[in-house]
């Protein structure tokens, strides 16, 4: 067992665990009577570890390697496809790093301490270069937002970023205070005004609707910003986060088991009820699809290995706001649990879900 562990680059403990749960069992014995791996066992271990490195849970792997219809060639084809997907993600990461290098060359560098103190546009001027690596429109979330806009023809998108959720079939005006984010808006995107939510340079009721997506928690004064949205538009649609429910930190395994510091990032953030009251809104849950195309903090709840990737974390501000040491500790601990199978044991039930309610809420007024 020790020799196979050394050759395979895993711990003996991991092999013991695979043996205990019947995933890979040493099926022969040495002359001295010790249990040993036959060639077929090693082949199976190779497949298990390949799927493991691609982020599959132990339960899924057991099904994959136990599939009587899949021979070694079928496994290799499947693995090849998964690796190509990973290569695409790596290409996106290189592109994000290039963008960040370009931002830094323009003098937009900050110390980690400064990063932690940063809020709002300053934060996004520092980290925004990494945004487009994973942040894009998720069609299911978009549909919910666009439905909520009703028949609005003119729409103000506040904290617009790169414009992920701007509807193409309405007349949109964007508001975005960060120059780095404005600079990444695609050619042909809606016109964008450099301003902050708390002080919108528009007359009362000048838009049919105002929307704000994944941005309110970055505003210096969320309530003042929401009142501004209410002032300039007849309808208001805000995608935000619910911290009212007791034990909300436990809704998501990432904050429950690895990053409890998330709660301090949201300390001082207004209650959902308070925000809803400020604009006269009702709240609807926004489930996060298991394959969410927008790499928001909660997006990878069923694809945990994604959180080990730097470009994924760099595109969600929470990771910068908790600080480097906390981030490293959380990632190390998650990596260990993914490797040992502990994460899969604790969260095996998620594999059957297509979407999860992790606290995202749409306020519609």
Ligand X SMILES: C[S@@+](CC[C@H](N)C(=O)[O-])C[C@H]1O[C@@H](n2cnc3c(N)ncnc32)[C@H](O)[C@@H]1O
Tokens of 347: 């969260």
DSSP 258: I
Place of tokens 């899949």: 70
> How many C-beta neighbours within 10 Å does residue 15 have?
21
Q: Which is nearer to ligand X, 196 or 338 (CB)?
A: 196
Q: Which is nearer to ligand X, 43 or 310 (CB)?
A: 310
Residues at the contact surface with ligand X, assessed by CB under 6 A: 120-121, 124, 135, 158-161, 164-165, 176-178, 181, 196-198, 213-215, 218-220
Q: Which is nearer to ligand X, 307 or 343 (CB)?
A: 307
Q: State phi, psi for 53 to the nearest 5 degrees.
A: -65, -20
Residue nearest to ligand X (CB): 161
CB of 99 to ligand X, least distance (A): 14
- Which residues contact residue 215 at a Cβ distance below 8 angstroms, ignoring those fewer than 6 apart? 158, 159, 161, 197
Tokens of 59: 């339960």
CB of 218 to ligand X, least distance (A): 4
CB of 8 to ligand X, least distance (A): 40
Q: Which is nearer to ligand X, 15 or 121 (CB)?
A: 121
CB of 132 to ligand X, least distance (A): 9
CB of 279 to ligand X, least distance (A): 15
Q: Which is nearer to ligand X, 52 or 321 (CB)?
A: 321
User: Could you tell me the CA-to-CA distances from 85 to 54, 55, 94 in Å, in that order?
Assistant: 10, 12, 15
Q: Which is nearer to ligand X, 184 or 255 (CB)?
A: 184
CB of 108 to ligand X, least distance (A): 13
CB of 122 to ligand X, least distance (A): 9
Q: What is the DSSP string of 143-177?
A: HHHHHHTTT-SEEEEET-TT-TT--TTSEEEEE--
Strand duo 355-356 + 171-175: pairing? unpaired
Q: What is the DSSP string of 57-107?
A: -HHHHHHHHH-TT--HHHHHHHHHHHHHHHHHHHHHHHHHHHHHHHHHHTT
Q: Which is nearer to ligand X, 146 or 343 (CB)?
A: 146
Tokens of 291: 């394959």
CB of 130 to ligand X, least distance (A): 12
- Which residues contact residue 26 at a Cβ distance below 8 angstroms, ignoring those fewer than 6 apart? 1, 4, 19, 35, 36, 37, 38, 41
CA distance 142 to 214: 12
CB distance 31 to 39 below 8 Å:
no
CB of 355 to ligand X, least distance (A): 18
Q: Which is nearer to ligand X, 157 or 255 (CB)?
A: 157
Q: Which is nearer to ligand X, 213 or 344 (CB)?
A: 213
């Amino acid at each position: 067992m020790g020799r196979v562990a050394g050759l395979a680059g895993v711990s003996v403990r991991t092999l013991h665990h695979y043996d205990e749960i019947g995933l890979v069992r040493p099926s022969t014995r040495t002359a001295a009577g010790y249990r040993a791996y036959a060639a077929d066992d090693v082949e199976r271990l190779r497949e298990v570890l390949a799927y493991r490195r691609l982020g599959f849970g132990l339960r899924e792997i057991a099904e994959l390697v136990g599939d009587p219809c899949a021979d070694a060639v079928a496994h290799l084809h499947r693995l090849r496809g998964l690796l190509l997907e990973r290569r695409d993600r790596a290409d996106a990461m290189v592109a994000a790093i290039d963008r960040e290098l370009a931002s830094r060359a323009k003098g937009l560098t900050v110390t980690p301490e400064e990063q932690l103190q940063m809020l709002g546009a300053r934060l996004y001027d520092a980290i925004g270069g990494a945004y487009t690596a994973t942040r894009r429109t998720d069609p299911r979330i978009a549909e919910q937002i666009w439905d909520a806009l009703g028949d609005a023809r003119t729409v103000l998108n506040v904290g617009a970023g790169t414009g992920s959720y701007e509807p193409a079939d309405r007349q949109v005006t964007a508001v975005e205070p960060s120059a780095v984010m404005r600079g990444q808006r695609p050619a042909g995107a809606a016109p964008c005004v450099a301003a902050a939510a708390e002080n919108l340079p528009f007359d009362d009721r000048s838009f049919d609707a105002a929307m704000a997506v994944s941005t309110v928690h970055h505003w210096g004064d969320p309530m003042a910003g929401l009142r501004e949205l209410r002032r300039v538009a007849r309808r208001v649609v805000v995608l935000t986060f619910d911290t009212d429910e007791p034990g909300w930190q436990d809704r998501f395994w990432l904050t429950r088991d690895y990053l409890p510091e998330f709660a301090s990032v949201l300390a001082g953030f207004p209650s959902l009820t308070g925000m809803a009251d400020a604009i006269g809104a009702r709240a609807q849950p926004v489930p996060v699809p298991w394959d969410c195309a927008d790499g928001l903090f909660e997006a990878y709840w069923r694809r945990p290995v994604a959180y080990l990737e730097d470009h994924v974390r760099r595109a969600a501000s929470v990771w910068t706001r908790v600080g480097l040491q906390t981030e490293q500790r959380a990632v190390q601990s998650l990596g260990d649990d993914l490797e040992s199978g502990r994460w899969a044991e604790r969260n095996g039930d998620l594999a059957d879900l297509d979407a999860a309610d992790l606290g995202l809420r749409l306020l519609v007024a």
